[in-house]
Amino acid sequence: MLESVSFIIPLLPLLPFLGFVANLLFIRNERSAGLIATATVGVSFILSLVAFILFAMGGGSRPYLDLVTWYWINTGALIVPFGFLYDSLSSTMTLLVTGVGTLIHIYSIGYMHGDKRPVRYFAYLNLFVAMMLTLVLADNLLLLFLGWEGVGLCSFLLIGHWFERKSARAAAVKAFVVNRIGDAGLLLAMMAIFALTGSLTFYSQTHPSGEGVLPGFLDSTSSFSAIFNFPGQPMVLATAVTFLILIGVTGKSAQFPLLVWLPDAMEGPTPVSALIHAATMVTAGVYLLLRVEPLLEMSSGTRAWILWIGALTAIIGATAALAQWDIKRVLAYSTVSQLGFMVVAVGLGAYTAALFHLLTHGVFKALLFLGSGSVIHAAGDEQDMRRMGGLRKALPTTFWTYMVGALALAGIFPLAGFWSKDEIIAHAFEHNIIVFGVLFVASILTALYMGRQIALVFFGEQRDHSYHPHESPKLMTVPLIILAVGTIIAGVINLPGSHFLNTWLQPVIAEEAAPFGTSEIVLAIVTTLIGAAAFYLSWRFYNERAARLRANSNDPIYRGTGAIWEGFNEGWYLDGFYKAAIVQPFRSVANFIAQVFDPRGIDGLVDGIVRSLNGASNGIGRIQNGFLRTYALVFLIGVVLIVGYFVAVNR
Amino acid sequence: MELAIFIITALIALVGAGAMIMSRNAVHSALFLLLNFAAIAILYLLLRAPFLFAVQLIVYTGAIMVLFLFVVMLLGAERAEDERDAIAWQKPLAIGLSVILFIEALIVSFRNGFAALPELSAEAEQIGAPETIGQVLFSKYLLPFEITSIILLVAIIGVIVLNQRRKTVS
Amino acid sequence: MVPTTYYVLLSAALFVLGVLGVLLRRNAIVLFMSVELMLNAANLALVAFARERASTDGQVLVFFVITVAAAEVAVGLALLVAIFRSKRTTDVDEVHALNG
């Protein structure tokens, strides 16, 4: 049924893009900018809903819909269609992106009211949605890469939205540079895939000449099964390719060791953090892993890497979130940790669980970020939790929705986070007990830091009276309520036993539904009980001690843990490590080049050339002395030489 | 006999040329050059070129040298180089290079040898006769001949223009 | 018959003397005479070759050279007079406005 109205699929990214163009070129006031931006994304959401329903109704006949609008590159050897792939995976992602995107756009109208550059903000936000949809709907790697870079660009621009602040500029540049490292890996992976299969499209489609097929690289996985001799250890080509993709994923999805940019990205406006750095862009890496699942299935080596990188990221993020004072940095490290969970799920082969967690996390983390934005808004742009406290009275809506989000994140029954996180933990329990242990600890830590945050922000008495908290306008609270409702019910899409998402994804990811037995139920009960207990204990602990907190005081547990707490606060010193290992040597080299090599070497070379030319021209100029007889002499020299040449040659 | 005439004439020509470049007085130089031209004219005669002999005497010794002398006297430029030579450094260089040039000429000459020419036939004796030259000049070389006349015309006009005394605009 | 080489050698000697005159003398008129001497040396060689080949063409060429030389002398001397009028000298070294 979708085939007959397939034109709506290209409209999905096109509408936000048109909104971007309009905001870029024509709109000059805040009100219409917000309206245009929200309207385009909203219509896009309605259309994706329509497409989703039509696709679901017509399901079965065709597993996916590949719609080529035109050929982007058509050079014989390299054929890249500007095509959209609509299947169960991308349709789900589309719903998340446009749905959460619409709510965040509405929220932004309220949040960005009175900002200096609202039009620019909405233009970039629209461009981001367009690029994210391009990424999700791309039917080939190059188009996906266009979206990948596009969202990276928007992330850069929006983190640096308040570019008057030095920290915002630095964070924007940091995000961009760190992402470049990952992008290099993805580029190399693309080249390798093209070299191996001669194609960048995911699935086979009609050849542009009308005859034969343009093979898709996911359909010709046998090309990747060759063994090549890596020094010391032979490996399957698929391992090399997927490892390069993994490098790209660690950049975009903020995995160890490239996770350092995400906490700093909180310098951007809060809705941006919610949309880009929690719900959508950072999940692009997980989406890409799901997309190339047939390749991952061929390489147990890469999956092991994915597994351990994800586990390490999950524990780093969770511990670091425990030791932050900035309300948004807590959530940022929490996002890092949850992304680690998703990546672990991919590494375990639990692709559905990864997507499930991606979706629920997208909803409740957006909720949490928007809630924190509401708090920051109410607290007069204050982000330090030590200066908050007692806000539940002034911000009832925000408090209750935030509470829902926090409990969901902590994995409390029956909220969305419980179902998705528990599925991952169950898989880990089944396959790898060490990873299970790491995830278990990480999820307890999750409950701890969320309890701490709730206690510090909403309970107790207001510790800083320099601002008068007030509930945010309807434009901001309504999206919060909608997201909170979503958080409560989102678990139904893949309840154990129903496996709706699992079935839905069957055409793309052929994965057995997770078994659902007594051990799983026991495990779920244990984790949720421990999580709830941790949440409560943490809340109580901080609630009792919060009243003594002052702007510069240490955490109550600082006395006992000291250096460890600081290490957590610094995000395991990854930034310091990069500074010492990369930034400082680079600076030294740059300094050497700028202060020694450039003036002495380059300038010396240039000056030397100038000097020698000057000398030469002075010497030559002296010959040109104006004396007729000297000219005659030079003439004679020439005559002598020429005659001499002929005398010597014609013997 | 012919060789003797050649040697004497050649010596006169060389002496004339040498004295011309050495004498300090420009009038003397002109007169020595006149001697040289006359000697060359005699050599033309030896080379069976009676017409050129005549032209050489009339044009060079007759017209051109008179013009030279006339200009020397007009400008009073008999002694123009009493001051110190500003570029005296190039004197040894000039002499050296000239010697090299002459040595190169010597090498070429010795390579070609000194075989005496055979006597010409009676017909070939006429190559330089005025009739022969006239016929060639007005048939084969008619176009160059006419062009030469134009060159002469241009030269006349040029000389007049160059030496016109312009009335100063007041 | 006198060998052509003798004439060529004489021609070369006269030519070199002319070169020396051009290079060493500063009086513009003498310098000019040296140029004429070089022309004559070349003419002599031409006539000698014409004699060797028993050809009229070489002599005709010399005739043209003499004609053009006459025109050249006329223009050259006119230039000398013009220079003398502005510089009051016939020393070529005094005329070096072209120095770099």
Residue type, B11: L
Pair A451, A542: CB distance under 8 Å: yes
A619: closest chain C residue by CA: C100
Domain membership flag for residue C98? no
Among A31-45, A539-553, C59-73, the minimum mean pLDDT is found in A539-553
Is residue A121 scored above 60 in pLDDT?
A: yes
Q: Which CATH number is C81's domain given?
A: 1.10.287.3510
What's residue A388's pLDDT? 85
| Alpha helices (H) along A459-583 | 474-489, 500-505, 518-545, 558-561, 563-569, 574-578
Considering just the CA atoms, what is the radius of gyration of chain B in Å? 21
What's residue A337's pLDDT? 94
From residue B164, alpha-carbon distances to A20, A504, C85 in Å are: 82, 109, 12
Pair A376, A349: CB distance under 8 Å: no
At A254-302, the pLDDT tens digits run 998 888 999 999 988 999 999 988 888 999 999 999 999 888 888 888 8
What's residue A338's pLDDT? 93
B99: closest chain C residue by CA: C16
Say if A633 is an interface residue toward chain C (CB within 8 Å): yes
Domain membership flag for residue C94? no
At A605-636, the pLDDT tens digits run 999 999 999 999 888 877 777 788 888 888 99
Pair C42, C62: CB distance under 8 Å: no
Find tokens 């096109």 and name the residue. A14
CB contact under 8 A, A633 and B98: no
Pair A140, A208: CB distance under 8 Å: no
At A9-63, the pLDDT tens digits run 899 999 999 999 999 898 888 889 999 999 999 999 999 999 988 888 875 555 7
Is residue A245 scored above 90 in pLDDT?
A: yes
Domain membership flag for residue C79? yes
Strands A79-87 and A205-206: unpaired
What's residue B118's pLDDT? 72
Domain membership flag for residue C13? no
Residue type, B116: A
User: Which residue in B81, B75, B65 sits closest to B29, CA to CA?
Assistant: B65
Find tokens 């030269």 and name the residue. B155
- End-to-end C-alpha distance for chain A, whole angstroms: 96
Pair A326, A266: CB distance under 8 Å: yes
Domain membership flag for residue C19? no
Confidence of residue B81 (pLDDT cuts 50, 70, 90): low
d(CA A132, CA A144): 9
What's residue A59's pLDDT? 58
Confidence of residue B109 (pLDDT cuts 50, 70, 90): confident
CB contact under 8 A, A630 and B90: yes
Confidence of residue B167 (pLDDT cuts 50, 70, 90): low
Pair B49, C47: CB distance under 8 Å: yes
| Residue range of the domain that includes C69 | 27-89
Is residue A149 scored above 90 in pLDDT?
A: yes
What's residue B169's pLDDT? 55
**How far away is chain B from the Cα of C97, in angstroms, using its nearest Cα?**
15
Domain membership flag for residue C35? yes
Is residue B123 scored above 80 in pLDDT?
A: no
Is residue A552 scored above 80 in pLDDT?
A: no
Q: Which residues contact B160 (CB under 8 A, 6 or more apart)?
A: none
What's residue A558's pLDDT? 77
**How far away is chain C from the Cα of B19, in angstroms, using its nearest Cα?**
10
Pair A487, A405: CB distance under 8 Å: yes
Q: Which of A71-75, A248-252, A466-470 has the highest mean pLDDT?
A: A248-252
Average pLDDT for B3-9:
92
Domain membership flag for residue C17? no
Considering just the CA atoms, what is the radius of gyration of chain A in Å? 30
What's residue A62's pLDDT? 59
Q: What is the DSSP string of A450-461?
A: HHHHHHHHHSS-
Is residue A86 scored above 70 in pLDDT?
A: yes
> Which chain B residues have a beta carbon less than 8 Å from that of C20?
21, 94-95, 98
What's residue A563's pLDDT? 81
The mean of the pLDDT values for chain A is 88
What's residue C100's pLDDT? 58
Confidence of residue A346 (pLDDT cuts 50, 70, 90): very high
**How far away is chain C from the Cα of B169, in angstroms, using its nearest Cα?**
17
Q: What are phi and psi of A226, to 5 degrees?
A: -65, 150
The tokens for C84 are: 């003398």
Q: What angle do CA B101, B102, B106 make, to 5 degrees?
A: 120
CB contact under 8 A, A621 and C100: yes
Is residue C68 scored above 60 in pLDDT?
A: yes
Domain total for chain C? 1
At A465-518, the pLDDT tens digits run 888 888 888 888 999 999 999 998 888 888 777 778 888 887 777 777 666 778
- Chain A residues interacting with chain B (CB cutoff of 8 angstroms): 625, 627, 629-630, 633, 636-637, 639-640, 643-644, 647, 651
d(CA A535, CA A459): 14
- Residue A152 DSSP code: H
d(CA A402, CA A413): 16
At A158-214, the pLDDT tens digits run 999 999 999 999 999 999 999 999 999 999 999 999 988 888 898 888 888 777 788
Neighbours of A234 (CB within 10 A): 9
d(CA A538, CA A554): 16
What's residue A381's pLDDT? 83
pTM, whole model, 2 decimals?
A: 0.69
Domain membership flag for residue C43? yes
Instruction: Answer positive or negative: Cα dihedral of B66, B72, B74, B78.
Output: negative
Percent of chain B exceeding pLDDT 90 equals 44
